[in-house]
Amino acid sequence: MDEFLQFVAEIFEVDVSAISPDTRYGEIPEWDSLMHLRLIGEIEERYEVELPLDDASDIQTLRDFYALTQA
Protein backbone atom coordinates (compact mmCIF):
# COMPACT_ATOMS: atom_id res chain seq x y z
CA MET A 1 0.00 0.00 0.00
CA ASP A 2 2.83 2.40 0.88
CA GLU A 3 4.44 1.93 -2.49
CA PHE A 4 1.05 2.47 -4.17
CA LEU A 5 0.47 5.71 -2.24
CA GLN A 6 3.95 6.89 -3.16
CA PHE A 7 3.18 6.24 -6.83
CA VAL A 8 -0.12 8.12 -6.62
CA ALA A 9 1.49 11.03 -4.77
CA GLU A 10 3.99 11.42 -7.60
CA ILE A 11 1.20 11.59 -10.16
CA PHE A 12 -0.72 14.09 -8.00
CA GLU A 13 2.53 15.98 -7.45
CA VAL A 14 1.85 16.19 -3.71
CA ASP A 15 3.74 14.96 -0.67
CA VAL A 16 2.77 11.41 0.28
CA SER A 17 1.69 12.68 3.69
CA ALA A 18 -1.12 14.62 1.97
CA ILE A 19 -2.94 11.44 0.98
CA SER A 20 -4.10 8.24 2.69
CA PRO A 21 -6.02 5.13 1.67
CA ASP A 22 -9.17 6.96 2.67
CA THR A 23 -8.59 10.02 0.52
CA ARG A 24 -11.75 10.40 -1.56
CA TYR A 25 -12.17 11.38 -5.20
CA GLY A 26 -12.71 15.16 -5.18
CA GLU A 27 -11.53 15.56 -1.58
CA ILE A 28 -8.21 17.17 -2.48
CA PRO A 29 -7.96 19.69 -5.33
CA GLU A 30 -5.42 17.57 -7.24
CA TRP A 31 -7.86 14.69 -7.65
CA ASP A 32 -10.29 16.15 -10.17
CA SER A 33 -11.99 14.37 -13.06
CA LEU A 34 -9.01 14.87 -15.37
CA MET A 35 -6.65 13.42 -12.77
CA HIS A 36 -9.06 10.57 -12.22
CA LEU A 37 -8.81 9.66 -15.88
CA ARG A 38 -5.05 9.93 -15.82
CA LEU A 39 -4.82 7.87 -12.63
CA ILE A 40 -6.73 5.03 -14.25
CA GLY A 41 -4.44 5.15 -17.28
CA GLU A 42 -1.23 5.34 -15.25
CA ILE A 43 -2.26 2.64 -12.79
CA GLU A 44 -3.23 0.29 -15.61
CA GLU A 45 0.16 0.83 -17.22
CA ARG A 46 2.16 0.51 -14.03
CA TYR A 47 0.39 -2.50 -12.53
CA GLU A 48 -0.43 -4.13 -15.85
CA VAL A 49 -4.07 -4.51 -14.99
CA GLU A 50 -7.28 -3.70 -16.82
CA LEU A 51 -9.80 -1.82 -14.69
CA PRO A 52 -13.25 -2.65 -16.05
CA LEU A 53 -15.42 0.36 -16.80
CA ASP A 54 -18.05 -0.25 -14.14
CA ASP A 55 -15.44 -0.89 -11.44
CA ALA A 56 -13.57 2.22 -12.49
CA SER A 57 -16.80 4.21 -12.32
CA ASP A 58 -17.39 3.02 -8.76
CA ILE A 59 -14.04 4.14 -7.39
CA GLN A 60 -14.46 6.45 -4.42
CA THR A 61 -11.20 6.22 -2.47
CA LEU A 62 -7.58 5.37 -3.06
CA ARG A 63 -8.27 2.14 -1.16
CA ASP A 64 -10.75 1.20 -3.90
CA PHE A 65 -8.07 1.82 -6.50
CA TYR A 66 -5.58 -0.25 -4.60
CA ALA A 67 -8.01 -3.15 -4.32
CA LEU A 68 -8.39 -3.20 -8.09
CA THR A 69 -4.64 -3.41 -8.60
CA GLN A 70 -4.55 -6.47 -6.32
CA ALA A 71 -7.23 -8.37 -8.24
**With respect to another protein, which residue has the nearer C-beta, 36 or 63?**
36
40 is an interface residue for another protein by CB under 8 A? yes
In the chain, the N- to C-terminal Cα span, in Å, equals: 14
33 is an interface residue for another protein by CB under 8 A? yes
* Of the residues 5, 8, 19, 51, which one makes contact with another protein according to CB under 8 A: 51
Q: What are the counts of helices (DSSP H) followed by strands (DSSP E) for the chain?
A: 4, 0
DSSP assignment string, 38-63: HHHHHHHHHHT----HHHHHH--BHH
57 is an interface residue for another protein by CB under 8 A? yes
Residues lying near another protein in the complex (CB under 8 A): 33-34, 36-38, 40-42, 44-45, 51-53, 56-57
